[in-house]
Amino acid sequence: MNTDEAGSDRQSAGEQTAVLPETASQLVELERLQLALGEAEERAKNHWGQYLRAVADLDNVRKRAQKDIEAANRYGLEKFAEELLPVRDSLELAVQNAEKADVRSLKQGQEATLQLLAKALEKIGIVTINPVGEPFDPARHEAMLAQPSNTAEPNSVLQVVQPGYEINGRLLRPARVIVAKAP
């Protein structure tokens, strides 16, 4: 072996020693990156699972809300029907006894039936709009006629032709009214 060969072997050995620490640091870096990748993949897997659970929970909430709405509608109709049944019973009784009854008792029966109906409507949240003397409100009243008046304030309700109704603050039917105007 000559000196050039020996130097060349030493240089190769020197290069190997110079490459080894660089390779070792690259291996350490690679190992660190693989660990970080594994952790990121695990977090991504957990986040995906959380997302799927959240979507399923949201779907369950939506389905439960829909069932609750359907049940509320059914229950609301049942409550309404329960309140109206006594009114129907009273009307049937009046029809059955119409031939035997005198005018006074028929009138009393009609008044009692009307009171039953008013109570039923009140229980389910229907309020009568009877705005005599109030300022005319086109959102709640329907003007049938404007009539001159010396006693009433102009643009106020002079007379109610047909009462209106609201349910829980929402207009069912406007009150039909005669509005006062200046003479």
Q: Which residues contact 106 (CB under 8 A, 6 or more apart)?
A: 94, 98
Spatial separation of the C-alpha atoms in residues 79 and 84, rounded to whole Å: 9
pLDDT for 45 equals 96
Tens digit of each residue's pLDDT (9 = 90 or more) over 141-182? 999 999 998 888 899 999 999 999 999 889 999 999 999 998
Spatial separation of the C-alpha atoms in residues 19 and 32, rounded to whole Å: 20
Per DSSP bridges, beta strands 175-181 and 141-148 are parallel
pLDDT for 19 equals 47
pLDDT for 140 equals 94
Spatial separation of the C-alpha atoms in residues 41 and 48, rounded to whole Å: 10
Lookup: tokens for 117: 């109906």
Instruction: Spell out the CATH class of 125-183.
Output: mainly beta
pLDDT for 17 equals 47
CB neighbour class for 180 (10 Å; exposed up to 12, middle 13-18, buried from 19): buried
Enter the DSSP assignment of 1.
-
Cα 13 from chain centre: 79
Sign of CA dihedral 148, 152, 157, 161: negative
pLDDT, averaged per 10 consecutive residues of the chain (183 residues), comes to 50 48 81 94 96 95 94 81 88 85 86 90 89 94 92 92 92 95 87
Q: Could you tell me where the beta strands, DSSP code E, fall in 71-112? A: none
pLDDT for 182 equals 87
pLDDT for 4 equals 52
pLDDT for 26 equals 86
